[in-house]
Amino acid sequence: MTRDRGRRQLAMMLAPYLLGLTVLVLAPFAVTVVLAFTEYDLIRPPRWIGTDNFTALAEDPIFRTALVNSLLFAAVAVPLRLTIALSLALLLHRRSRFAGTARTAAVLPSAVPEIAYGLLWLWLLNPLYGPISQVLRAGGQNGLTVFGRTPPQWLTDPVDARAAIILMSLFTIGETFVILLAVRRSLPPDVYELAALEDATGWDVLRRITWPLMRPVLVLLLIRDAILSLQFSFLPALVVTDGGPPPYATTYIPLFSYRTAFEYLRYGYAAAATAVMLALTVAAVALQWRLLRRHEALRDR
Amino acid sequence: MTRLRRLATLALCTLLTATAGTACADHGDGGGDPSAPVRLLVFGAPEELAAYRTLADAYTRAHPDRTVQLVEAGDRKDLLARLSTSIAGGEPPELFLMNYRFYGQFAVKDAIEPLDDRITASDKIDPADYYPVAMNAFRWRGRQLCLPQNVSSLAVYYNRTLFEKYGVALPQPGWTWNDLLTTATAMTRDAAGGVIRGTESEGAAQRPAVHGVGIEPSIIRLAPFVWSNGGEIVDDPARPTRLTLDGPAAREALKNLVDLRLAYGVVPTDEEVESEDDESRFANGRLAMLLSSRRSTTTFRSITGFEWDVAPLPVYRQPAGILHSDAYCMTRGGRNKQAAWNFLEYAISADGQRIIAATGRTVPSHMAVANSPAFLGPAQPPRSAKVFLDAIPTVRALPTVSTWPEIEDVTSGILENALYRGDRLDDVIRQLDEQTRPLFARAEHPR
């Protein structure tokens, strides 16, 4: 009787979340997957065309560029974001005079609305008048850096523009930082005291104690960031670089899908691109999971 | 197989209606309550939006029981996104303002209400009062889908004060491309006022304080020069299948355009454009000339530091201009069509066009208003407003195929690299052709 009541309470507590999950995530997901097999323009009824959209995507050079850009972004940004968040958490977990201020500074960029964050970076990265370029040019002559080199062309050079989008992503690690900070602070202090008695070096402590204890959470965050990274690039690319500089240097799959769906009215085609992105996300997560399981199995042996 | 597809479509419609929108629904007549607010979707600079607010306020003052609600989009792409999603969601605005280059994709999907019957029944609108080139640009398969509010052409805005300061001859009607180049070279100056070669600004040398001319690397800026040189930009203007910039006349016009940056350095670099767009650069007195349509006028009227005016486009072999025209279109799924038509009638009528013309935003599509003091009056710049009217007989429209927005986006990226990065002309022309052919192949045509 008590168990039934407990289950009912649990179901009631979960119901709002499950409802939201169904209406806002699962149903649109199902619709997107189905629409990927149709020709649909948002106005006329969809027409079933089988796998034609996927065939066309395979031959679409813009989609291929967007796909490579997205994978490159994930491959570089995710490890960097996680490393920075972990470093900050390890650096700031102790109570000290400036730790509170520093923690706030680390979290603050994540609290800025995305559009405002993008517009802020548009100003920061302004090639001539932006503070980043001004700082890089300080001490140099005729618009060059102090080393006589041209500063990064954030908005006009394809490689630098990709770097700018990654750079923007490195400051919105607040949530990851808070989780890692909480995890680090919850680790048993007696283990560290014991290590100190044993004269363990900082590197030993990190490798033998902190890393193994935090690894389960890090794995979770790695998977979560990999999933989010494929979507994270959307607003910076839309607001700051507009998908350019040409040819499509910062056009990622979400931006490709958005433009194809809502500016060119090819919703079915965009749904197919989104489905590919979802498939890639699942594949990336599965691969990470498998690699980590294998690593753990080897370790346990 | 057909049955299977029909069943699949039915299932999809059910799913979509339940989740995303009402794309499969019949929107019915949508006559609605004439006193309910009419939603008008527009985009533009703050000054342009202020002009539309002036028009909407004037309408409400003239008809106190009717209201118009402006739905303001951030830019053209945002407007397209808002329009498409609102139509899919079954709640489109009753009216939207759109350039003829972009309405084709909505026309082909039957999302725009044809206006022929309403025009015929109207005692306020006579199609003969309007410039035919603008009216025809909004005819789709024999039906008048939208009614144009303006009929601008490309013009050369110039900083008269700066020209007089440096003693350089003002642009004159009938001037040639070489004249433009000579003038732009003479107007590219350093901070001390000396003539400077802008190509040296790449890297080590000083940047020009004033650039000679600003021009956006796009097909709509290139087209009038190709036509003026006797070339064509597409193989068949009615049913285009490819771009024809490989022809000698088009190639020459393209080469001359990219040489403005690469050989002479009279246009700002991409870095400079990203730092400050051409319109702001002109308004801040750092650009001597700017090729733009009438829409820049509203912004430039806020300039107080110098005097500016407009001149016609330079000519190669024959005068040629490009049509810039926006029209009021009524959505098929709008709730309140009669109220929308009432406002549309007012906005397009002589009275409405006088109001919007006074704000500086439009070259009126209504011929009598265009030739009246409401547009030509010398109270506000540009002093030579007649330049816009003189260009109308020679303006041509771009193809209004359904995939034109994609074609413009693809070509602008390639042309940007040609102008700023110096991509080889043969590669540029080949890329333009290769990358747009599939888009033309997918296009549906207005005739």
Distance between CA atoms of B126 and B123, rounded to whole angstroms?
Answer: 8
B297 CA: distance to closest CA in chain A (Å): 26
Verify that B362 and B428 share a domain, yes or no: no
Report the amino acid identity of residue B230: G
A44 CA: distance to closest CA in chain B (Å): 6
Taking the Cβ of residue B41 and every Cβ of chain A, the question of whether any pair is shorter than 8 Å is answered with no
**Looking at the predicted structure, is the pLDDT value of residue B205 above 80?**
no
**Looking at the predicted structure, is the pLDDT value of residue B31 above 60?**
no
Average pLDDT over residues B362-384: 91
A71 CA: distance to closest CA in chain B (Å): 22
- Closest by Cβ to B275, choosing from A31, A61, A128: A128
| Closest chain A residue to B408, measured at CA | A264
**Looking at the predicted structure, is the pLDDT value of residue B164 above 60?**
yes
Distance between CA atoms of B338 and B329, rounded to whole angstroms?
Answer: 13
Verify that B119 and B202 share a domain, yes or no: no
Report the amino acid identity of residue B69: Q
Distance between CA atoms of A54 and A296, rounded to whole angstroms?
Answer: 37
**CB pair distance less than 8 Å for B274 and A127:** yes
**CB pair distance less than 8 Å for A43 and B87:** yes
A165 CA: distance to closest CA in chain B (Å): 16
Does B5 reside within a domain?
no
| Closest chain A residue to B205, measured at CA | A142
Instruction: Tell me how long chain A is.
Output: 301
Radius of gyration of chain B (CA): 23
Q: Can you say how many angstroms the Cα of residue B98 is from the centroid of all Cα atoms in its chain?
A: 9
Verify that B210 and B89 share a domain, yes or no: no
Distance between CA atoms of A173 and A77, rounded to whole angstroms?
Answer: 11
Please report where in the chains the tokens 């289950």 appear, as a residue.
A7
Taking the Cβ of residue B442 and every Cβ of chain A, the question of whether any pair is shorter than 8 Å is answered with no
Q: Which tokens sit at B217?
A: 């690397």
**CB pair distance less than 8 Å for A246 and B416:** yes
**CB pair distance less than 8 Å for B109 and A43:** yes
**CB pair distance less than 8 Å for B23 and A34:** no
**Looking at the predicted structure, is the pLDDT value of residue B254 above 90?**
yes
Contacts of B284 (CB under 8 A, 6+ apart): B276
Taking the Cβ of residue B203 and every Cβ of chain A, the question of whether any pair is shorter than 8 Å is answered with yes
Contacts of A200 (CB under 8 A, 6+ apart): A208, A209
* Mean pLDDT over the full length of chain B: 89
| Closest chain B residue to A130, measured at CA | B275
Kind of pairing, strands B152-153 and B321-324? antiparallel
Does B233 reside within a domain?
yes
- Closest by Cβ to A263, choosing from B4, B81, B204: B81
Closest CA to B40 of B203, B149, B114, B190: B149
| Closest chain A residue to B92, measured at CA | A43
B295 CA: distance to closest CA in chain A (Å): 22
pLDDT of residue B12: 47
Give how many domains chain B has, as a whole number: 2
Report the amino acid identity of residue A198: E
pLDDT of residue B200: 55
**CB pair distance less than 8 Å for B87 and A42:** yes
Q: Is residue B325 within 8 Å of B99, Cβ to Cβ?
A: yes
Q: Which residue has the higher pLDDT, A300 or A51?
A: A51
Verify that B308 and B289 share a domain, yes or no: yes
Instruction: Tell me how long chain B is.
Output: 447
Verify that B123 and B183 share a domain, yes or no: no
pTM of the model: 0.88
A36 CA: distance to closest CA in chain B (Å): 11
Peptide bond into B438 cis (omega under 30): no
- Closest by Cβ to A262, choosing from B80, B205, B417: B80
Closest CA to B224 of B200, B250, B201: B250
Taking the Cβ of residue B2 and every Cβ of chain A, the question of whether any pair is shorter than 8 Å is answered with no
Q: Is residue A116 within 8 Å of A207, Cβ to Cβ?
A: no
* A199 torsion bin: left (phi>0), alpha (psi -120 to 50), beta (else): left
Q: Is A107 in a helix, a strand, or coil? A: helix
Q: Which residue has the higher pLDDT, B2 or A85?
A: A85
**CB pair distance less than 8 Å for B413 and A248:** yes
**CB pair distance less than 8 Å for B417 and A246:** yes
pLDDT in tens, A213-265: 998 899 889 988 988 888 788 888 999 998 988 889 999 999 999 999 999 99
DSSP letter for A209, please: I
| Closest chain A residue to B403, measured at CA | A264
Peptide bond into A245 cis (omega under 30): yes
Where exactly are the structural domains of chain A?
60-300
pLDDT of residue A233: 86
Radius of gyration of chain A (CA): 23
Provide the domain limits for residue B258: 153-321+401-442
pLDDT in tens, A134-178: 898 888 877 788 888 888 889 999 999 999 999 999 999 999 999
Q: Looking at the DSSP assignment, which residues form a beta bridge with residue B326?
A: B99
Q: Which residue has the higher pLDDT, A279 or B9?
A: A279
- CB contacts of A129 in chain B (<8 Å) are 275-276
Average pLDDT over residues B10-16: 46
Our CA angle for A46, A52, A53, nearest 5°, is 70
CATH number at residue B47: 3.40.190.10
Q: Is residue B162 within 8 Å of B331, Cβ to Cβ?
A: no
- Closest by Cβ to B413, choosing from A129, A247, A261: A247
Average pLDDT over residues A59-73: 94
pLDDT of residue B1: 40
Peptide bond into A247 cis (omega under 30): yes
- Closest by Cβ to B9, choosing from A48, A247, A259: A48
Verify that B341 and B316 share a domain, yes or no: no
Q: Of A224-238, B72-86, B163-177, B261-275, where does mean pLDDT reach its minimum?
A: A224-238
**Looking at the predicted structure, is the pLDDT value of residue B247 above 50?**
yes
* B222 torsion bin: left (phi>0), alpha (psi -120 to 50), beta (else): alpha
pLDDT of residue B239: 92
pLDDT in tens, B391-427: 999 999 999 999 999 999 999 999 999 999 999 999 9
Which DSSP string do the residues of B153-222 spell out, in sequence order? E-EEEEEHHHHHHHTPPPP-TT-BHHHHHHHHHHH-B-TTS-B--GGGGTTTSPPPSBEEEE---SHHHH
**CB pair distance less than 8 Å for A48 and B15:** no
DSSP letter for B394, please: G
- CB contacts of A262 in chain B (<8 Å) are 80-81, 84-85
Verify that B353 and B315 share a domain, yes or no: no
Q: Can you say how many angstroms the Cα of residue A85 is from the centroid of all Cα atoms in its chain?
A: 13
Does B20 reside within a domain?
no
B window 46-105, beta carbon within 8 A of A: 77, 80-81, 84-85, 87-88, 105
Average pLDDT over residues B315-342: 94
Does B22 reside within a domain?
no
**Looking at the predicted structure, is the pLDDT value of residue B3 above 60?**
no
pLDDT of residue B201: 47
pLDDT of residue B35: 67
Q: Of A279-288, B93-102, B158-167, where does mean pLDDT reach its minimum?
A: A279-288
Does B229 reside within a domain?
yes
Residue B328: is it exposed, middle or buried by C-beta count within 10 angstroms (0-12/13-18/19+)? buried
Using CA atoms, how far residue B397 sits from A89, A141, B145, in Å, is 61, 48, 16
From the CB of residue B360, how many other CB atoms can be counted at a distance below 10 Å?
Answer: 23
Verify that B212 and B63 share a domain, yes or no: no
Q: Can you say how many angstroms the Cα of residue B310 is from the centroid of all Cα atoms in its chain?
A: 17
B window 135-174, beta carbon within 8 A of A: none
Does B372 reside within a domain?
yes
Verify that B305 and B203 share a domain, yes or no: yes
Question: A interface toward B at CB cutoff 8 Å?
Answer: 23, 27-28, 30-31, 34-35, 38, 40-48, 61, 126-130, 142-144, 150, 153, 155-156, 244-248, 258-259, 261-265, 267
Distance between CA atoms of A134 and B170, rounded to whole angstroms?
Answer: 37
Verify that B210 and B317 share a domain, yes or no: yes
Give the CATH fold of the A60-300 domain: MetI-like fold (1.10.3720)
Verify that B92 and B161 share a domain, yes or no: no
Average pLDDT over residues B119-129: 94
Distance between CA atoms of A248 and A255, rounded to whole angstroms?
Answer: 10
Average pLDDT over residues B236-257: 95
Verify that B420 and B272 share a domain, yes or no: yes
Does B394 reside within a domain?
no
DSSP letter for A25, please: I
Does B290 reside within a domain?
yes
DSSP letter for A151, please: P
- CB contacts of A143 in chain B (<8 Å) are 203, 207
Distance between CA atoms of B92 and A153, rounded to whole angstroms?
Answer: 41
- Residue A169's H or E segment, with its range, is helix A158-169
Question: Residue B181: which pLDDT band, with cuts at 50, 70 and 90?
Answer: very high
Helices B425-442 and B248-262: crossing angle in degrees, nearest 10, is 120
pLDDT in tens, A89-145: 999 998 888 889 999 999 999 999 989 999 999 999 998 889 998 898 888 877 788
Q: Is the dihedral of CA B293, B136, B176, B264 positive or negative?
A: positive
